Structure formats: C-alpha cells, structure tokens
Amino acid sequence: MPQEQYAHRSTMQTSEGPQVMNFTIDGMGNLRITEKGLKLEGDSEFLKPLYAKEIRSRPGNPLYFQSARNVTVNILNEKTKVLTRLVTGPQAVEAHSQKFEVKTLSGKLLFSADDNEVVVGAERLRVLGAEGTVFPKSIETPNVRADPFKELRLESPTRALVMEAPKGIEINAEAGSLKATCRTELRLESKDGEITLNSAKIKLPNLPQGSSSSAGSRQKIYELCVCPNGRLFLSQAGSSSTCQINTSVCL
C-alpha cells in the first residue's frame, strides 16, 4: 500500500511569542530536501557561516548576495588558512591573492597582476581620463599612439622625459606636424652615426647675425657660419667668406 505523507505543523516558542514552523518529510518552510541537495525558495538570511560545495540559482534566474556591510568570499586550504579572499564593501572591491587574472570566455588573458608585474593582454589599452595617465617610474611598450584625430602628448612637468630603444626610436606624424619645445636646450646627438635633416625647406629663423661688412650694403644674402664650439650664425655675404670677420659672435 502506498505510504501517505503527512504535513506536521509545529509551534516554536520565541521571545516574540509562538512561531509556527511548517515541518514536512521534504523539509521545513521554504527549505526543501531533494536528491541533489537543499532547495531554498524565496529570500533567506543566514546568521552563521554557510558551508556548501555549490550555490546556484534556478535556471534563468539571477543569484543575489546581499549584506548590510560587505560580502567576503574566502578560499581556505586543509589547515583553514586563507589562500584567496574577495571582499566587496561599501567603499571598494578588494581581491587578495598571489595573482589576479581577468580572461575572456575563450580563455584569452586580458589583465593579470602579481607582486612582480602587471600585464595587459588586450590588443589596445585606452586611457579616457582628461589628465591622461601618470607613470611614476618607467613604462615599456612597443607603440604609443593617440586615437584618430586626437593629439598625443608626452610630458614630464618637473623632471626629464627619456625614451630609449636598442634598435631605434621612430616618431611619425603622418597627417600633421611634429613639435618639440623646451625651456633651455634641445640637443640632437648621434654617437656613432649621423643626423640627417631631409626636407625641401630647412628654416633657422632666429640665428644671430654678425656685423655688416659694409654699412651701405642692402643685400639680403647671408653666409651660414659655424663656430669652433658648433654654434651657427649668419654673416652678410661678400665676394669672399665673411665668417672670419664676425668671429666675435662665437664668444
């Protein structure tokens, strides 16, 4: 004969008075015992630690964790020592582990961080802040590029800006101009090679000029002269070189 299942209604005495608890052979209240474990319907509040192998929601429904302060997820070893911790609080989300990784669904690394380095695995890193990005120390990258139709600015407000590469540095402005400005000295130095200025027009508008060789001369043709220390200056051209006449500019 089939066994009949009976629902039992039990009363529990609490500080707020008697409370009715619906006990059945399948569980208690919204808590049901199934072949796969426990099934909880509706909202629940756990006042003590909850230990479970797997926590999941119904298919197609979201899973919510709610707390008045923070939600902490700890990964422990066999000695109950915390190996990894994730804390979501009112001020920040903190992750404590030996290494932190963010990957795509296909397993491609997007971001990782540990004690030694921070790796950005995405093909492009975009900085959208109005003030750009501040690097207190060095940065290593094969390419620094601005968005289309946007300006690229490399700046060190109070210290030096150094760019180094063992096989060369290329600065290219395909659709605009390239401008380098400094307060004191701009130096182009090649230790073992040469410096080439390849352009149809090369202008040096603010070179110093030597004294005129003839007070009545009105010609606007000048000779480009080089001092022993490498300084350039202009000297009014004559029938022969006039650089020697204006050597006082080199002092």
The pLDDT tens digits of the residues spanning 5-62 come to 444 454 445 555 555 556 566 666 677 777 777 777 777 777 777 777 888 887 888 8
Domain assignment present for 54: no
Domain assignment present for 10: no
Domain assignment present for 74: yes
Print the domain residue range for 240.
220-250
- Residues whose CB falls within 8 Å of the CB of residue 99, separated by 6 or more in sequence, listed in order: 112, 113, 114
Task: Look at residues 92, 121, 150 and tell me which one is the last residue of a structural domain.
Answer: 121
User: Are the CB atoms for 118 and 106 separated by under 8 Å?
Assistant: no
- DSSP string spanning 161-183? -----TT------TTS------S
Domain assignment present for 1: no
pLDDT of residue 87: 92
pLDDT of residue 3: 47
Domain assignment present for 60: no
Q: What is the pLDDT of residues 48-91, one digit of tens each?
A: 777 778 888 878 888 888 888 888 888 888 888 999 999 998 88
Task: Look at residues 86, 105, 121 and tell me which one is the last residue of a structural domain.
Answer: 121
Domain assignment present for 17: no
Query: Number of folded domains in the chain?
Result: 2
Domain assignment present for 203: no
Task: Look at residues 121, 139, 158 and tell me which one is the last residue of a structural domain.
Answer: 121
H or E element that contains 55: none
Domain assignment present for 116: yes
pLDDT of residue 21: 55
